[in-house]
Amino acid sequence: MIDLMLVAAGALTGLVVGLTGVGGGALMTPLLLLIFGVAPLTAVGTDLWFAALTKLAASRIHHGNGLIDWQVVRRLWLGSLPASALTLIGIRLHPVDQSAVEFLTLALACTVLLTAVGMLVQKHLHALGKRFRLDHERDFKTWQPLLTVLAGVLLGIMVTLTSVGAGAIGAVLLAYLYPLRLTPPRLIATDVVHAIPLAVFAGLGHLLIGNVNFGLLANLLLGSIPAVIVGALLSTRLPHGLLRMLLSVVLLAVAAKMLARVLF
């Protein structure tokens, strides 16, 4: 059954993802929790599939051939996929009581907050990483592979637990770790290629646990697929920096609302 409110929510989120490349989990999961009253684990599991399929629809428009740095992607997967599997095992073994619901909501709020702050400081972190890379080249390149794997571990845990972080936070980490090697188009392409399989992997785990609502997912995709394509087509014609700034402000407000709901 078609729910126009869910379709509209999917369309709004899809448009933002198409315009900025980020915001799928950071917007949709809070919407499902705060507006539609979906249980936290169901919201996370459903949103993982929503984000993966929505980003997949826009990926051919956003990225050309030859932009993916597969060595960086493999390093991220080396950390993120095992971390995702271990997180799923923890979710499966831990009974979902009120304390678990509160913990998941708090984790989601903190991750949304981190996403918003990360988007605001990405340029500064890139400049910092570039300075370290040029001034301490040998040490930087020695630690770079391990730090990339650890970044993958962090993303794997966050995405599996909250469905948030693969896009914006992943881009921030890569901007710092690869300030010269990854140009903006290569950074975005590499980040998305890492994020989609991670979302699918984590989504499969949530599906096996029983945390995916297919009716909810169908309504969301009905709105998001056409909207994300429109957003991707418009993204080159609109001020990217301003869009990301506005999205950051919205995410800060969302995070504040969720934190207030958990803490007060």
What confidence score (pLDDT) does residue 238 get? 73
Domain that includes residue 191, residue range: 4-263
CA 137/CA 163 separation, integer angstroms = 35
What confidence score (pLDDT) does residue 176 get? 92
Total count of domains within the chain: 1
What confidence score (pLDDT) does residue 6 get? 95
- pLDDT tens digits, one per residue of 71-102: 999 999 999 999 999 999 998 888 766 677 78
What confidence score (pLDDT) does residue 86 get? 95
What confidence score (pLDDT) does residue 85 get? 95
Q: Mean pLDDT, the chain, as a whole number?
A: 87
In terms of Cα–Cα distance, which of 199, 125, 192, 197 is closest to 164?
199
The ranges of the chain with pLDDT < 50 are none
What confidence score (pLDDT) does residue 96 get? 66
DSSP states along 231-255: HHHHGGGS-HHHHHHHHHHHHHHHH
